[in-house]
Amino acid sequence: MDIRDTLVRYGYLLSKRYNWKQKQLFTKHIGDEFQKMGYEVRGVLSDQKKNPAMNLVVGDLAKAKKIVIAHYDTPKRLFISTKYYPLNEYKSFKAKEIAANIPFLLIFMFGTAVIYLCRDFFRFTGFNVETLLSCLIVLVFGLFSFLFSAGPANPFNMQRNSAAVVAVIALAEKLKKKKDIAFVLTDRELNNHAGDHMVQQALPTTLKDRTVLHLHCIGKGPAVGIGFEEANLGLATKLESIFKGKHQTLLKSMSEKEIKLHSLGFYPKAITVSSGEVVEDEILVGDTSTRKDNSVDLEFFESLIEGLETYLKS
């Protein structure tokens, strides 16, 4: 496989996986790609009648001892860059909420300014300014609340999470002879972790015995961050030893509050891998949910995939 072509395919051509049609198109194309490698591929729908989640399971999940998981859904667009901390969703949530509400504030200020500047005209024509202002505020906030809650979809999403999707394809190609490894592309990690919940439901009694490798925001360095619960320190240090000497590494024992908002909360025996800059003992990824999330550091990315392959083979 040519990793550059694959990055173009899923980072540019099929870069938006935000609504149902976009997700269907993506899963069809990527499912065909896995089938050509010789894998059994299944699409799994949640039991929700409206807006169901859809996972793509590659390989024999029931027999897998190791499971590689990455979400494929992509975020809505924010018009202001925010700081995203993939190993600390609680901290990221606060930054995202500020950025998401700025357009509402600007719209309100603009509307108020228009009413103020046109106040003499309204008085002359007999309009009640207070009533008009109240109606305008309700109308504008109603309209834009709907638009911003439903989209628009962000056009490019290399870090969040197209690079991880491409890494799953690359690892599947390299490890197709390993029948004890399965891959799952999950849906709705960005809202309610419906896809993670579906994996949990599929393996209700045996998930605790499977080693899960979760990939999220892995397109750029310079540092490799490994998040884990304290009970899984051994898994984390094993992976860290592979990258030491090649890349800066950060081991992070995630708090209970952080785990609850992260996919790790669904998998008893798991570690998560993210990459970016190290800032105050956190992995920081910039420009997600904006048009600027449109590139990867290819040398770093390929080296990361090699390390993950070594880990999965061990």
Better-predicted residue by pLDDT, 198 or 122: 198
8 A C-beta contact, residue 60 and residue 182:
yes
Q: Compute the distance between CA of residue 134 and CA of residue 93 in angstroms, rounded to an integer.
A: 31
**Hey, what's the torsion of the CAs at 104, 145, 54, 165, to 10 degrees?**
-10
**181 and 229 together in one domain:** yes
**24 and 106 together in one domain:** no
pLDDT of residue 137: 63
Q: Which residues neighbour 286 within 8 Å (Cβ) at sequence distance 6 or greater? A: 81, 83, 84, 276, 277, 292
Q: Compute the distance between CA of residue 214 and CA of residue 170 in angstroms, rounded to an integer.
A: 15
Q: Is residue 18 part of a domain?
A: yes
**142 and 46 together in one domain:** no
pLDDT in tens, 163-182: 999 999 999 999 999 999 99
Q: Is residue 85 part of a domain?
A: no
302-306 long-range Cβ contacts below 8 angstroms, 24+ apart: 302/3, 303/246, 303/247, 304/167, 304/218, 304/221, 304/224, 304/243, 304/247, 304/273, 304/275, 305/3, 305/167, 305/170, 305/171
Q: How much is the pTM?
A: 0.87
Structural domains in the chain (count): 2
Please name every residue paired with 247 in a beta bridge, in sequence order, or none if there are none.
none
pLDDT of residue 130: 57
**231 and 302 together in one domain:** yes
pLDDT in tens, 58-83: 999 999 999 999 999 999 888 777 78
- For helices 89-117 and 129-150, the axis angle rounded to 10 degrees is 150
The predicted model gives 14-20 an average pLDDT of 95
Better-predicted residue by pLDDT, 217 or 118: 217
**129 and 174 together in one domain:** no
Q: 139: which 2 tokens?
A: 């109308």
The predicted model gives 117-144 an average pLDDT of 62
Lowest mean pLDDT among 83-97, 233-247, 262-276: 83-97
pLDDT in tens, 214-251: 999 999 999 999 999 999 999 999 999 999 999 999 99
Whether a cis peptide bond, with omega within 30° of 0, leads into 222 is yes
| Whether residue 140 has pLDDT greater than 90 | no
pLDDT of residue 142: 62
| Whether residue 196 has pLDDT greater than 80 | yes
| Whether residue 285 has pLDDT greater than 80 | yes
Q: Which CATH number characterizes residue 49's domain?
A: 3.40.630.10
Lowest mean pLDDT among 126-130, 135-139, 156-160: 126-130
